Amino acid sequence: MLERLSLRLRVFLFFALVAAGGVAAVAAGAWLGYRRLGEPEAFPAFVLAGAVGAFGILGLVAWVWLLFDENVARAIEALSARLRARAHADAGAPVEEARARYLGDLAPAAAAVSAKLSETRDALAQAVQRETTRLAQEKARLEALLADVPEGVLLCSPEHKIVFYNGQAAELIGRDHAPGLDRPVFDYLREAPIAHAYEWLLAAEEGDAASDLLCATVDEGRVLSARMRLLRLPEEEGGYPGYVLTLRDVTADLAVHARRERLLEEIFDRVRRPAANLQTVIGVMGPERAQGLDAALAGEVRALTAAITELGARYDEARADWWPMSETRARDLADGIAARLASQGIAAEVTADRLMLRCDAFEIVALVSRLAQRLAEKGRGEALGIAIAADPPGAAIALSWQGEPLAVAELDRWLEEPLEVGLADVTGRAVLRTHGTECWPEAAIGGRAGLFLPLRHARPSVAPPHPAPRSATYDFDLLSRARPAAIAERRLTDLTYVVFDTETTGLMPSRGDEIVQIAAVRCVNGRRIEGETFESLVNPGRSIPPAATAVHRVTDEMVAGAPPIAEVGRRFHRFAAGAVLVAHNAPFDLAFLNRHEAEIGHRFDHPVLDTVLLSAIVFGQHEKHTLDALAERLGIAIPEHARHTAMGDTLATAEAFLKLLPMLRARGMETFGEVIAEAKRHGRILRDLN
């Protein structure tokens, strides 16, 4: 019945009830006092009347306040939190009209506004999507192009923080740990060469100057050839510019060139000594010692010949290493040969195994095509077949035909011919020398003769089971971000966050429970970076109770070969360097990490935000603040198979955290310090949870 009354009438009834109750309490007190008027001591009667009236009014007010708090204050608070979630976090949780049933038409009106907002937002999103489809396609093409640029590309802010990196850069500098947006580039590359090049470019008078430099990775000391160019934006006014680094791994090139230099030094040394000995022998030669000197001379000649032969072979082998070559699919090479022969009117069956060959594909195609052309001209092109097959430790190209074998002298003449018009220096023999190989005829077997050309470098071409596409990762807003020195003064949107979760053997780290799995993701500039994740099983050094396995599904067999917490903790600490740690019930997870700080070698003294406390700030302490309850309020779906897994809970926490951020700002909390100050008021919730 009350639910059908208007809100104004209900508020009036609240106050009418207070007034009526107050009058009734005073009347009851007066009546009791009146009954005692005839007694000898009348004053206590009035005291009794006042006390009864006062306690009656106090009890009435308390009861009315409880009703008001439950049906009005809390209902309004819950209603405003849901509206804020819908407005700022685009959460899909509906407005609870039943809870606000005593607020008259407020709940239905709020539900209507929320539905209209969602409808308008959906319509706007569709319009924006239609208008930006072309831009999205161009952006995707640009990202694909940047991801497959042959060189690694880094874009860094004036503070040397990474703003952009492509897939090649990630492979070059992040083999041990992946690079991250808003991370210092000096976490991956040695500081001195980059800092010096940047200072030189800042001081250079040429506005478009570039600097070539050699730098090394921090972990493995691999040498990278780099080129730095400043990125001066039109809107910059007096500030320091960012810069672009293009990277290429030259470690192997330097090693090969060093081997060549050592080989040349050895050649000169080993040839110089026999030549000097020969000169000495010839200088002292006389008629009476001719026979002995002839023997000595013959020995030195043999030694010189052997040295030259050996060193020449080693030089040819080394030349195959340093000559610029690339990996080519054997089937692509076969297609090139077949296309070249078809253009020359030569019919041939060309086959290839699934191999990756390290060779100069253009030269090999030209050589094999020339040999096939000469065979056809000499009448040996009948039933010509060309096969590229594995020939451990490398591969081999075999040309076969029906008929007589080829003479070695004739093959030698063909190999001395230039392969292409205008390329007189590129002969078949030169191609063989470049690849450190030979080509020879084989006798007819079963009526078929052939030519055999081995290739030294080959490996099976096996597609990875889950190929990871290379992608370009970037956030250009980081270029112009202002960074106050004190973290408390920094805006929430300007911080980098690492959201993490752990799975454990139990709930009591003080009694020996340990971490069995840890996962984390990085959030920069209000979004989660897809490629920047951390996930690892951990060997706890003890058995996992069946009750714990039933929750997170991690078994003893799964962690038997996993690294210990000391190694995983170091990797996680590095992943989280310079970021704010975020977790749901953070004290629980950090307690397991803190007790191993001595083994890990690092302290987890990062700034911390707890989504339990953030939920209490936004939705009020009276609500439930479990991860499931928070996800439900924010419209986040947690798949059942991902619940209570480290990565599944981490992704849910990250999504909830990113939706809570705009809601915190809507309540006037813009900086990290303001959020921490407000969170301290809700610390009792964490004490109750733990």
Annotated catalytic residue within 177, 584, 644, 682: 644
Residues 85, 83: Cα–Cα separation, whole Å: 5
Residues 458, 328: Cα–Cα separation, whole Å: 9
Cβ proximity of 97 and 78 under 8 Å: no
Q: Give me the amino acid identity at 90.
A: D
Encode burial over 360-382: b for 16+ CB neighbours within 10 A, e otherwise.
Answer: bbebbbbbbbbbbbbbbeeebbe
Nearest to 586 by CA among 664, 520, 492, 658: 520
Work out the burial of residue 429: count CB atoms within 10 Å of its CB; fewer than 13 is exposed, 13-18 middle, 19 or more buried: middle
Cβ proximity of 270 and 240 under 8 Å: no
Whose structure tokens read 């290379």?
A: 470
Structure tokens at 566: 């000391």
Q: What angle do CA 75, 79, 85 make, to 5 degrees?
A: 150
Nearest to 515 by CA among 599, 639, 576: 599
Structure tokens at 595: 């007790």
Three-state secondary-structure class, residue 178: coil
Q: What are phi and psi of 469, to 5 degrees?
A: -65, 140
- 644 among known catalytic residues: yes
Cβ proximity of 461 and 329 under 8 Å: yes
DSSP 634: T
Residue 357 pairs in a beta bridge with: 328, 458
Cβ proximity of 196 and 228 under 8 Å: no
DSSP 118: H
Cβ proximity of 579 and 498 under 8 Å: yes
Using a CB cutoff of 8 Å and minimum separation of 24, what contacts does 405-412 make? 405/441, 405/442, 405/443, 405/444, 405/449, 405/450, 406/375, 406/380, 406/441, 406/449, 406/451, 407/441, 408/440, 408/441, 410/378, 411/439, 411/440, 411/441, 411/451
C-alpha distances (whole Å) from 421 to each of 341, 371, 373 are 17, 16, 15
Nearest to 661 by CA among 673, 651, 671: 671
C-alpha distances (whole Å) from 254 to each of 146, 222, 223, 228, 263 are 27, 10, 8, 21, 14
DSSP string for residues in 192-245: HHHHHHHHHHHH-S-TT-EEEEEEEBTTT--EEEEEEEEE--TT--SSPPEEEE
Q: What angle do CA 477, 481, 484 make, to 5 degrees?
A: 160
Q: Give me the amino acid identity at 500.
A: F
DSSP 97: T
Question: Which residues are designated catalytic?
Answer: 644
